[in-house]
Structure 1
Amino acid sequence: KLPIGQQDFRKIRTSGALYVDKTQAIHRLVTEGDYYFLSRPRRFGKSLTLSVIKELFEGSRELFEGLWVEENWDWERRYPVIHFSFSSMGYKEVGLEAAIERALDRKAAEMGLELSGQGISYRFQDLLKKAAREMPVVLLIDEYDKPLIDYLDKDNLPTALAHQKILKSFYSIIKDNDANIHFLLITGVSKFSKVGVFSDLNNLRDITLSPAFSTLAGITQSELEAYFGDEMDLIAAEKEMLPATLRADIQRWYNGYSFDAKNFLYNPFSLLNFFGDRQFNNYWFASGTPTFLVKLLRERNVVQLDNIRLDAVAFNSYNLERLETYALLFQTGYLTIKSLDEFRIYTLGYPNLEVEESMMRHLFSEFRHEEVGASGPTVIDLRQALYANDLPTAIEVLDSVFQSIPHQLFLQKREAYFHSLVYLTFRLLGIYTQSEVNTARGRLDCVVQTPTHIYLFEFKLDQSAEAALEQIHSRGYADAYRQSSKEVVLVGVNFSSTHKAVEGWKAEQVE
């Protein structure tokens, strides 16, 4: 039984649903330290982790039967648990302060306590003090940044900044309640508000990039084999595939997330949906389209999202008013750590095919001002034309890519816009066939391989098709392919920014 979208540990265990045993890592977390902060992408298992910790401290031994921690925990020692989730507070309806106050009152009533004092700071202080009369409390805060990331776009920034102030005063209470708190874990997607929100909490340990806890959420390769091995063999038989081929496909689609450059994880949400549907689909991406991020990338003209090199400082993107593009993409799960060198320089890239394909489609559509669904057919048409060695049709498809862009928008950033769209077209094509794009030092050339042909494209803006072909010749781009058994075709394309169209193209075969 697959717990798709299920974040309540008690429900998972009592319904007999599958639980990947993370209790050894959780035990280490709760016994090694006391104040933690963890950032992970959405739907990555943060809420379930908090739910496990809650049941552990409340002494619900029956839920842990057969799990690692059952024999490694003092079940007699129980702690009061205060668990808040900002995603279910309803602050959009009543306002953030009122929503927090309501959550505090609800928790107090659950614990049989009555709060005094006005305002969220006083009531929170009162709740911690009264709840900790016999034993210090375990404080779990989920999605701390939801009231901020819901309002990141320019129009709503004042709301995000106002929320930041409210949250700062709320969390400042924690610092003076050390004696009342046994354990604290705060989770969220982003770190950009950590300083603005928790500046008073200088003893909060950030374990986001900590190797010790890198596999706390997400599913490892060995966990996949242990819990889903039989299921994968069944699906492989159903699909008439070799088990090793199916495993490689699952890895290509859903693996690849890393927070320490050593352990690579599967996204649990996508994985569970795959096993439920038995189909490869973009489950995680579809569950929350990053409209704001895609718009931000278009405004900043950022489309190349692989081999991004950053130092550790860049991950601490704190400023709501000046968001760091790549840090934000990493925190939200659209980029991940690929490697880390001896100088502590991180290389980021897409985690897997699901994220790469979805992000490319959304960016392609955003630049073209078209519906996302239109991107696939366009690129498939281009692929089919090239597979049929039908260059006139392929050029027509390329021409159509630019037709829907508002003229004014294109003229403002013609060179950058042109490069971005050609890049996205051929990168998307690379999902369906072998296609490489090179945009180094002002060049814009693409290599597309079909079963019978190798096409070398060179693109120019407001020059001529002859100039494009001349560049292919003068730089010797074709030399690397002369030994191929396939036909090598050079294609020079000139694009007019005035008419937003292909103005001329020329092709020649390499003898």
Structure 2
Amino acid sequence: MEERSMTQATKLYPIGIQTFEKIRNGNYLYIDKTEIIYRLTHAASNYVFLSRPRRFGKSLLTSTLKAYFEGRRDLFKGLAMERLETEWTKYPVLHFDMSLGKHMEKEQLERYLLSQLEQIEEDYGIHSDSPDSNIRLTKLIRHVYEQTDRQVVVLIDEYDAPLLDVVHEEKNLPVLRNIMRNFYSPLKACYPYLRFVFLTGITKFSQLSIFSELNNIQNISMLPEYATICGITEEEMATQMDEDLDILAKRMGISREEAIQKLKY
């Protein structure tokens, strides 16, 4: 009974949950990254790329950015962002998830991109029959900007997913790469209408040369000030998971220090 009372206050771990809203509304444990996110969204560059391995929290980060730019102040209660942000301006957010665009041929990938656009177009009452995804994206950004009278935020999760399984193929890679390059090309031309552009992926974009035209994007993947934007540091574990460490050590019959060493291992 004593151990049960200790764990009652402990939040559940969000295993497999990649949506910031669900974590916050479900009272799951969230490691507070919002101070870094505030710094990122108020830095000099409005075009940002982050590379991290799979299962490293990129999708959750993208979801958190979405909630922030949508002005969802209620979801940030008790987090660093609540004291840092004073305006909570609501921006229109276009969120593209490329994670399901894997193992596709040319026509399949083109249809997939159009389906991503159609879902967002419907939200804003837009109808377009153009078969060219880059034209559709350009019109979508401009239409949303004019409709809302606010600059647009574009979030692209796993931008390189459609190319990862063909990255070493001489035949298919150039074809699919051109499709993706065309799709992303409006991001530079639409600069006046964009508040923030954020892309995540596994590979460095220079290796796939998709962003050869988008030369104003900042790669923060190896910058020290953003090193902890994903994942969990030892300091975060010792502070934000403090009670959990004590419970784990007690259940294993070891000291807290030994439990930390085993977690490191």
Matches for 1:20-35 after TM superposition, within 5 Å:
20-32=31-43, 33-35=45-47
Comparing 100-109 with 189-198, greater Cα deviation is found at 189-198
Asked whether the equivalents of residues 103 and 165 of structure 2 are also in contact (C-alpha less than 8 Å), the reply is: no
1:202 aligned partner: 215
1:160 aligned partner: 173
Asked whether the equivalents of residues 110 and 133 of structure 2 are also in contact (C-alpha less than 8 Å), the reply is: yes
Find out whether 1:132 has 2:129 as its counterpart: no
Asked whether the equivalents of residues 73 and 88 of structure 2 are also in contact (C-alpha less than 8 Å), the reply is: no
Find out whether 1:217 has 2:230 as its counterpart: yes
Matches for 1:374-453 after TM superposition, within 5 Å:
none
1:177 aligned partner: 190
Find out whether 1:6 has 2:21 as its counterpart: no
| CA–CA distance in structure 1, aligned partners of residues 211 and 29 of structure 2 | 36
| CA–CA distance in structure 2, aligned partners of residues 164 and 101 of structure 1 | 16
Residues 114 and 91 of structure 1: CA distance in aligned 2, closer, same or farther (over 3 Å):
farther
TM-score (norm 2): 0.89
Matches for 1:254-293 after TM superposition, within 5 Å:
none
The structure richer in strand per residue is 1
Among 105, 111, 114, the residue aligned to 2:127: 114
Paired amino acid for 1:56: Y
CA-to-partner distance for each residue in 1:53-86, whole Å, 9 max, x for gaps? 1111111111111111112224452110001010
Asked whether the equivalents of residues 102 and 165 of structure 2 are also in contact (C-alpha less than 8 Å), the reply is: no
1:87 aligned partner: 99
Matches for 1:349-388 after TM superposition, within 5 Å:
none
| CA–CA distance in structure 2, aligned partners of residues 78 and 115 of structure 1 | 26
| CA–CA distance in structure 1, aligned partners of residues 46 and 97 of structure 2 | 19
**Alpha-carbon deviation of 1:114?**
2.5
Residues 137 and 5 of structure 1: CA distance in aligned 2, closer, same or farther (over 3 Å):
same
Greater C-alpha Rg:
1
**Alpha-carbon deviation of 1:89?**
4.6
| CA–CA distance in structure 2, aligned partners of residues 236 and 218 of structure 1 | 22
Q: Which runs of 5+ in 1 are unaligned?
A: 253-511
CA-to-partner distance for each residue in 1:166-194, whole Å, 9 max, x for gaps? 11111111111111111001110101555
Q: SS of 2:96's equivalent?
A: strand
CA-to-partner distance for each residue in 1:34-66, whole Å, 9 max, x for gaps? 111111111111111111111111111111111
| CA–CA distance in structure 1, aligned partners of residues 166 and 220 of structure 2 | 26
Paired amino acid for 2:30: Y
**Alpha-carbon deviation of 1:138?**
0.3
CA-to-partner distance for each residue in 1:316-345, whole Å, 9 max, x for gaps? xxxxxxxxxxxxxxxxxxxxxxxxxxxxxx
1:445 aligned partner: none
Asked whether the equivalents of residues 91 and 98 of structure 1 are also in contact (C-alpha less than 8 Å), the reply is: no
| CA–CA distance in structure 1, aligned partners of residues 132 and 157 of structure 2 | 21
| CA–CA distance in structure 1, aligned partners of residues 34 and 24 of structure 2 | 13
Q: SS of 1:3's equivalent?
A: coil
Paired amino acid for 2:47: Y
1:64 aligned partner: 76
Asked whether the equivalents of residues 102 and 163 of structure 2 are also in contact (C-alpha less than 8 Å), the reply is: no
Paired amino acid for 1:213: Y
**Alpha-carbon deviation of 1:116?**
5.2
Q: Which runs of 5+ in 2 are unaligned?
A: 1-11
CA-to-partner distance for each residue in 1:322-377, whole Å, 9 max, x for gaps? xxxxxxxxxxxxxxxxxxxxxxxxxxxxxxxxxxxxxxxxxxxxxxxxxxxxxxxx
2:200 aligned partner: 187
Paired amino acid for 1:46: K
**Alpha-carbon deviation of 1:121?**
1.2
| CA–CA distance in structure 1, aligned partners of residues 88 and 201 of structure 2 | 31
CA RMSD of aligned residues (A): 1.8
Find out whether 1:243 has 2:256 as its counterpart: yes
Matches for 1:466-505 after TM superposition, within 5 Å:
none
Find out whether 1:142 has 2:160 as its counterpart: no
Percent of aligned pairs with the same amino acid: 36
Asked whether the equivalents of residues 115 and 127 of structure 1 are also in contact (C-alpha less than 8 Å), the reply is: no
Paired amino acid for 1:144: Y
| CA–CA distance in structure 1, aligned partners of residues 115 and 134 of structure 2 | 13
TM-score (norm 1): 0.47
Asked whether the equivalents of residues 87 and 146 of structure 1 are also in contact (C-alpha less than 8 Å), the reply is: yes
